């Protein structure tokens, strides 16, 4: 008798679904001959590739999703321990192993190994990193390995974020405050649009991926599909664009906007660097063109176009009405609880705040802090798992956790910290209990959503070893033959002067130096001292945003300065072959920053140079120092024996400085500046000044008094130059001379480790 293979009912989950499209993973097929036979229907899959590609239909069986075609660019063949690691990892995934560990020493080409495994498997992949700097570097590397596939960057889009909080001991309420990086927001939207449209996808993400992102089902259902020759009313199409959060602006054409000129509609998607023009003849779509936003020049015509929502949090109109009813019921229940306990202040506070938010939602569909109502708005049950980036992936995804010894604890800690803060808000009447469901994934929920997983680290922790039964795949031999650095313990007395001389020696040989200090203040002070001693030096720590950090590392590699001083960001994964010396100050101060793992990771930053050396400045030998030195010497001995056996002479490989995520962002900013250049060269009119005045009044109403004051000064200046070109009128000087960034602990410090931040005079909002 024929045996049918199907997915067990408890694992039945629709993946990659769009309308009537279903993918089913072959990896979970099992023998179910004991079940009633069911016909295995075949369905038709329509390829929703990005609009630059033609749209094709592919007939396929529900038994297996198609293998993605990854075009792996191989500048060199795998060597050293890479071939064995690639073979073992690929075989393990294909055999159905849920977890594997790759123990790879620094500089052994772990990223290249991951790229080869992804290409062998042909499945969508997520690379999880623990910070934005390393994520940006990984993005650049994977972009080089897969130039013709969808490689995307998904990290937190906040440059600055102060969460809402309440401190009961001092009766202090802290309002949420944040600054969103528009470039990263665009990259996040590009990520999800690719995930729902194709399978040859590699996403490099940070721990931000475990936070709520909106329903993938709503996101897919609200995609607007437009086809040449289709019959549709123009106004109906415009309403659909508004429904998916695009704004109409017929004057300033920007990302996330559309404009209408007669029967021609031009749309600039939030996730693209180009725009589209839809030309209609009556109610028929006559032509769809890909255009340059600045000139309107047609690049090419397409037959089909799919417009994805401008924001991740989108939902049908009827969902809001159902949510409002649920929220009113929850409010009544919580008010009754407070009143029964005599908490009248909390009851009054919750009633006033929530009723205001509900009125805003009912009237305009949005309110401040709308994310706190995300669970009722999504229609989920209390305590339900939030939708995240993982829900946009198909079920046969594969996950690589880079530097897992740091990344996994980060993921584990997110839920508890978020829960503690929000519980305080709920108990004191600032939020409804449903706000607790606006949360990151719990650790066990994250484990259930990663698919098959590979932990990648030079120092895997006990968790990774437990998940893989103690088995690891070692990758210690470097393809370049480079050895782990020589580690030398130097007295901490006079460490600054000793280091200064060593930096000068390296600078004379056109080599670079990394220095790690214990505090941000010490890093800045040491950098300033070196600059006073005519050494080209910068500092790098958490107060610089993601793009500034990457810029600093690129400038170090290109020789714009010789020494970089940091705290905890100069560790895992940084690929800096020009660095020949790593200096660790106060190495004997036992703790998180000077643990065995931290020391091994920091020592590894010098392992990409043939002249590598590490100084541990200390007055005593700690257990962590001894274990780190012993492990480094063990690996060095293995590498040296391999080199002698194969006649390999270690040699530094100087890689080209690749254009990474910061380059992509710069290109997009340039494109947007060009597209909006028309408004910059227009003449000053009375209407323009009046629009600026309205913006000033709006800023004042929103209590943005500094912005309102600067707009006031600008209005007064422009009134004196009616009729002149706008570009000829200089912006007024900012009256505040503090030079601060306005956000962060040390507001007056320098950008990118040296330059004072420049105060920006706001422009009126367009539209």
pLDDT tens digits, one per residue of 55-114: 333 333 335 677 889 999 988 899 889 999 999 999 999 999 999 999 998 888 899 999
Residue 651 or residue 97, greater confidence: 97
**Alpha-carbon distance 371 to 317, whole Å?**
17
Q: Widest CA span of the chain, in angstroms?
A: 91
The two three-digit tokens of residue 513, written as one number: 């130096």
Name beta bridge partners: 205. Answer: 128, 154
Confirm whether residue 108 is marked as ligand binding: yes
Residue 106 annotated as part of some ligand binding site: yes
Residue 105 marked as a ligand binder: yes
Q: What is the mean pLDDT of residues 724-751?
A: 48
104 is in an annotated binding site: yes
Q: What is the pLDDT of residue 321?
A: 87
CA distance linking residue 144 with residue 562, whole number of Å: 27
Name which of 459, 485, 473 is nearest 576 in CA terms. 485
d(CA 103, CA 638): 15
Compute the average pLDDT of residues 508-532.
93
Q: Is 558 annotated as a binding residue?
A: no
Element (H, E) at 700: helix 686-701
Rounded Cα distance between 269 and 310, Å, is: 7
Distances from the Cα of 756 to the Cα of 154, 521, 611, 738, angstroms: 29, 16, 35, 10
Contact assessment for residue 236 and residue 332, using Cβ atoms and an 8 Å cutoff: no
Distance CA 738, CA 762 (A): 17
* pLDDT of the residue at 572: 64
What's the pLDDT score for residue 337? 96
Say if residues 62 and 22 touch (Cβ distance below 8 Å). yes
Distance between CA atoms of residues 4 and 186, nearest Å: 45
Higher pLDDT, 557 or 11: 557
Mean pLDDT for 143-164 is: 91
Is the backbone of residue 149 left (phi > 0), alpha (psi -120 to 50) or beta? beta
Q: Residue 138 and residue 131: Cα distance in Å, rounded?
A: 11
| Residues pairing with 173 in the sheet | 166
Residue 516 known to bind ligand: no
Q: How much is the pTM?
A: 0.70
In this prediction, residue 676 has a pLDDT band, given cuts at 50, 70 and 90, of very low
User: Are 306 and 51 a contacting pair, CB within 8 Å?
Assistant: yes
Edge-first strand order for the sheet with 201-205 is: 150-154, 201-205, 125-128, 398-402, 452-457, 99-104, 473-475
Of 34-48, 103-117, 237-251, give the lowest mean pLDDT range: 34-48
- What pLDDT shows up at residue 656? 63
Of 484, 526, 488, the C-alpha closest to 617 is 488
């Amino acid at each position: 008798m024929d045996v049918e293979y199907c997915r067990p009912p408890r694992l039945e989950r629709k993946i990659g679904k769009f309308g009537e499209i279903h993918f089913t993973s072959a990896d979970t097929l099992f023998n179910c001959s004991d079940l009633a036979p069911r016909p295995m229907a075949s369905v038709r899959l329509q390829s929703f590739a990005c609009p630059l590609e033609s749209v094709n239909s592919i007939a396929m069986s529900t038994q297996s999703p198609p293998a993605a075609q990854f075009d792996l660019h191989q500048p060199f063949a795998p060597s050293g321990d890479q071939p064995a690691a690639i073979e073992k990892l690929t075989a393990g995934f294909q055999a159905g192993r849920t977890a594997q560990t790759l123990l790879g020493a620094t500089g052994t080409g772990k990223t290249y190994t991951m790229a080869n495994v992804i290409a062998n498997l042909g499945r969508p992949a997520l690379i999880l990193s623990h910070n934005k700097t390393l994520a940006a570097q990984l993005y650049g590397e994977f972009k080089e390995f897969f130039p013709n596939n969808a490689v995307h960057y998904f990290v937190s889009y906040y440059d600055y974020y102060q969460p809402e909080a309440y401190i009961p001991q001092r009766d202090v309420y802290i309002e949420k405050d944040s600054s969103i990086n528009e470039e990263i927001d665009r990259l996040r939207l590009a990520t999800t649009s690719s995930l729902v449209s194709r399978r040859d996808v590699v996403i490099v993400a940070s721990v931000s991926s475990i936070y709520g992102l909106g329903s993938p089902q709503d996101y897919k259902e609200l995609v607007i599909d437009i086809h040449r020759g289709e019959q549709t009313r123009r106004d109906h199409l415009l309403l659909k664009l508004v429904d998916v959060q695009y704004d109409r602006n017929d004057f300033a054409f920007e990302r996330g906007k559309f404009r209408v000129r007669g029967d021609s509609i031009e749309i600039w998607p939030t996730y693209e660097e180009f725009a589209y023009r839809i030309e209609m003849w009556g109610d028929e779509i006559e032509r769809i063109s890909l255009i340059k936003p600045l000139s309107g020049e047609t690049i090419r015509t397409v037959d089909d176009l799919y417009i994805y929502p401008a924001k991740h949090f989108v939902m049908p109109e009827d969902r809001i009405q159902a949510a409002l009813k649920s929220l009113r019921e929850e409010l009544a229940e919580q008010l009754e609880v407070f009143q029964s306990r005599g908490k009248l202040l909390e009851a009054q506070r919750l009633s006033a705040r929530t009723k205001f938010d509900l009125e805003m939602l009912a009237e305009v569909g949005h309110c401040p802090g709308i994310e706190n109502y995300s669970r009722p708005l999504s229609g989920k049950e209390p305590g339900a798992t939030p939708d995240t980036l993982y829900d946009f992936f198909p079920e046969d995804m594969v996950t690589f956790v880079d530097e897992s010894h740091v990344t996994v604890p980060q993921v584990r800690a997110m839920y508890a910290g978020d829960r503690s803060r929000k519980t305080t808000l709920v108990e004191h009447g600032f939020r409804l209990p449903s706000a607790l469901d606006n949360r990151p994934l719990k650790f066990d929920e994250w484990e259930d959503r990663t698919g098959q997983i590979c932990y990648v680290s030079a120092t895997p922790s006990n968790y990774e070893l437990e998940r893989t039964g103690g088995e690891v795949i070692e990758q210690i031999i470097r393809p370049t033959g480079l050895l782990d650095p020589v580690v030398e313990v130097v007295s901490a007395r006079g460490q600054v002067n000793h280091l200064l001389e060593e930096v000068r020696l390296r600078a004379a040989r056109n080599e670079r130096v990394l220095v790690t200090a214990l505090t941000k203040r010490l890093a800045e002070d040491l950098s300033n001292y070196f600059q006073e001693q005519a050494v080209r030096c910068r500092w790098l720590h958490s107060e610089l945003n993601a793009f500034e950090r990457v810029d600093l590392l690129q400038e170090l590699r290109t020789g714009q300065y010789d020494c970089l001083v940091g705290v905890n960001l100069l560790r895992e994964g940084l690929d800096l072959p020009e660095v020949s010396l790593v200096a660790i100050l106060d190495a004997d101060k036992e703790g998180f920053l000077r643990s065995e793992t931290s020391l091994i990771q920091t020592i590894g930053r010098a392992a990409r140079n043939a002249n590598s050396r590490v100084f541990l400045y200390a007055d005593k030998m700690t257990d962590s120092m001894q274990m780190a030195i012993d492990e480094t010497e063990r690996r060095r001995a293995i590498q040296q024996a391999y080199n002698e056996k194969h006649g390999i002479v270690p040699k530094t490989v100087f890689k080209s400085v690749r254009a990474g995520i910061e380059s992509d962002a710069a290109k997009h900013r340039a494109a947007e500046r060009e597209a909006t250049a028309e408004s910059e060269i227009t003449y000053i009119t009375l209407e323009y000044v009046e629009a600026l005045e309205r913006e000033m009044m709006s800023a004042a109403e929103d209590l943005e008094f500094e912005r309102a004051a600067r707009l006031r000064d600008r209005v007064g200046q422009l009134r004196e130059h009616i009729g002149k070109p706008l570009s000829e009128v200089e912006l007024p000087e900012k009256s505040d001379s503090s030079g601060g960034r306005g956000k962060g602990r040390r507001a007056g410090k320098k950008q990118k480790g040296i330059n004072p931040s420049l105060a920006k005079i706001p422009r009126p909002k367009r539209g």
